[in-house]
Amino acid sequence: MRIGIIGAMDEEIALYLEAMGEPAQTVKAGITYYEGQYEGQTVVLCKSGVGKVNASVCTQILIDTFQVDKVIFTGVAGAVNPELTIGDIVVSTDCVQHDVDVTPLGFAPGQIPYTEKWVWEADAELIQLATDAAKAITDEIQVVHGRILSGDQFVASREKVQWFYEQFGAACTEMEGAAVGQVCSMNGIPFVVVRSMSDKADGSAHVNFLEFTKLASQRSFAMVQNMLRALSTGAGTAATAAPSVIVYSAKGCIDCDLVKKALDAEGIAYEVRDVMSSPEHQEAVEKLGFMGIPVTVVGDKAVKGYQPEALKELLGLK
Q: Is 140 exposed, middle or buried (0-12, 13-18, 19+ CB in 10 A)?
A: exposed
> Is residue 301 within a helix (H) or strand (E), and if so which, with residue range?
strand 301-304
* Residue 83 dihedral angles phi and psi, to the nearest 5°: -85, -10
- Region of 247 (left: φ > 0; alpha: ψ -120 to 50; beta: rest) is beta
110-114: Cβ within 8 A, 24+ apart: 110/167, 110/168, 110/277, 111/277
Q: Which helix (H) or strand (E) holds 14?
A: helix 10-20
Distance CA 87, CA 205 (A): 12
Residue 64's Cβ-count burial label (10 Å; 0-12, 13-18, 19+) is exposed
Catalytic residue positions?
A: 12, 199
Residue 109: Cβ within 10 Å count: 16
